Chain A
C-alpha cells in the first residue's frame, strides 16, 4: 500500500501550509458576484474577478453578523450604495481554511473610499460620454419658465416625498395655482432607470402642456441611488425639452441625473419651494413695476400740481401788480386831466371875460349909436308928421273911405271928406 494520508490529514496539512505561508490578512480587490444575508445576520458572498466578462477567479467569503451590521451601515452612508452584486470592493480578508467547509475569505473590513473611487471613475466615464454626445449641458441651457405653473412630476405616488411635495404646492400660503400631472415610476432598484425613462417618453408626447418637469423621490430608507447614475437616464434627462428639476433626496454628492438636470435640489419640499419662489419672484417683479408706475405718476402729478400752484400764485402777483400799476397810472392821468382841464378852464375863463368885456363895450357903443340914430330918426319923423304937415295948410281928401290923390278920381256929385289938422268937413263936387 502506497504511503497515504487521510483526507482530514491532508486538509490539516493544507491548513497548516496556508497558515505558515500566508500573511495574517490581505487587502483584495474583487467584485461581488453574489451576496445574501442569513437569518442570523451573517453575510455570505461570492467574490469574483472578471476579465472581458469572463470569470477568472472566484472565492467564497463571509462577513460575520457582528462585523456586517456595522460595516454595511457605514459603507452605505459613505458610498450611497448597498453591498450588492456587481459592486467592486476593496476588502481586508483573512484566508481561512476549514477541514469540512474548505477555503473561505473572512472579510473584516471594507475600504469604502475604493468603491467611491470606482463609482467616481464610472461616473466620469459616463459624463465624458455625455459630453462627447454633446448633450451634457443641454437641459441647463433651456431658460426656466417665467412662471412654473404647469408641472409634470415623475415620482412614486406612495412615497412620502411625493406627498410632501404635493401638500406644499397645494397649500402654498400665497395661493398660487399649480396644475400638476403625476407620472408613476419605480424610483429605486434595477427597474428604476427603465421605468423613469418610460415616464419621460410619455411626458414628452404631451410636452406642450408643461412648463417644467420634476423628478422626486424621498422618504425611503434605502440610499441606493445608482439608478440615477445610469447613462441612458442621464442622456434622456439632458436632452429633455423642458427644464428638469430634481429632488431625489440625498445629502451626499450628486447623481449624474442631478448633474445633467437643469436644477438639482436636495429634497422634494425644496423643489416645491423652488416652484413657489418662481411664482413669487414673478409676482414681485410685476408688483415692483406697478409700484414704479404709480410712484412715477404720483410724482408727475405732484410736480404738475406744484407748477400749477406756482403759476396761479404768479398770475395773482402779476395781476395785482398790473392793477396797482394801472391804478397809479390812472391817478396820474386823473391828475393830469385835472390840471389840463383847469388850465383849459382858466384859458376859457380869461377868453370869456374878454368876450364879456368886448360885448359890454360893443353893446354900449352900439347903444350910443342907436340912440343917436333914434334921435335923428325922431327928428325925421317929426318932419313928416301928418299933423304938422296939416298944420302947415295941407289937407287930406277922402272919398268913400279912400284917400284921393288925383282930381281925375272924382266925379260930379261925389261927396268928399277933407281932413284938417283940427277936424273934418264934408263937401260936394259941383
Chain B
C-alpha cells in the first residue's frame, strides 16, 4: 500500500488489521517494530489530513493581521 493511495478508510482498515494481528498472534520483535512504525505513520496521515496543522493555523492567523 503506497502513501498515494491512502484514504481514511484504508488507514482505518489497516490499523484494525494491525491490532487484530498483534492481539491474536504473537509477532516477533522485528515484526512488532515494523507494525508500530506503520501504525504511527497511519495515525499521522489521518491526523494531518483531519486537522489544521499548527503551521497552517499560524499562517491563517498571520493573514488576519
Binding site for B on A (CB under 8 A): 146-147, 149, 174-177, 279, 282-283, 285-287, 289-290, 292-294, 296-297, 300, 304
Contacts and interface: CB of A to CB of B under 8 A. Distances in A.
A293 B18 contact: yes
A296 B19 contact: yes
A293 B51 contact: no
B52 interface: yes
B26 A146 contact: no
Interface of B: 8-9, 11-12, 15-16, 18-19, 22-23, 26, 29, 32, 35-36, 39-40, 42-43, 46-47, 49-52, 56-57
A286 B22 contact: no
A175 B61 CA distance: 13
Given A175-B51, A283-B50, 8 more contacts: A176-B50, A283-B46, A286-B46, A289-B18, A289-B19, A293-B18, A293-B22, A297-B35
Contacts of A300: 22, 26, 32
A175 B39 contact: no
26 contacts: A146-B12, A147-B8, A147-B49, A147-B50, A175-B51, A176-B50, A176-B52, A177-B51, A177-B56, A283-B46, A283-B47, A285-B12, A286-B12, A286-B43, A286-B46, A290-B15, A290-B43, A292-B23, A293-B15, A293-B22, A293-B35, A293-B39, A296-B22, A297-B22, A297-B32, A297-B35
Contacts of A175: 51-52, 57
Contact of B36 (A147, A149, A283, A293): A293
Contacts of A283: 46-47, 50
A89 B12 CA distance: 56
Nearest to A296: B22
A297 B16 CA distance: 15
A287 B11 CA distance: 12
Nearest to B46: A286
A104 B23 CA distance: 83
User: Which residue of A146, A174, A290 has the most chain B CB atoms within 10 A of its CB atom?
Assistant: A290
A299 B12 CA distance: 23
Contacts of B9: 146
B15 A282 contact: no
Contact of A290 (B23, B39, B57): B39
A285 B19 CA distance: 12
Contacts of A294: 36
A347 to B, nearest CB: 64
A146 B9 CA distance: 7
A149 B47 CA distance: 13
Contacts of B32: 297, 300
Nearest to B35: A293
Nearest to A289: B15
Nearest to B18: A293
B19 A293 contact: yes
Nearest to B22: A296
Given A286-B15, A293-B22, A297-B36, A176 B43 contact: no
Contacts of A304: 29
A147 B19 CA distance: 21
Contacts of A146: 8-9, 12
Contacts of B15: 286, 289-290, 293
A297 B50 CA distance: 26
A290 B47 CA distance: 12
Contacts of A285: 12
Nearest to A174: B51
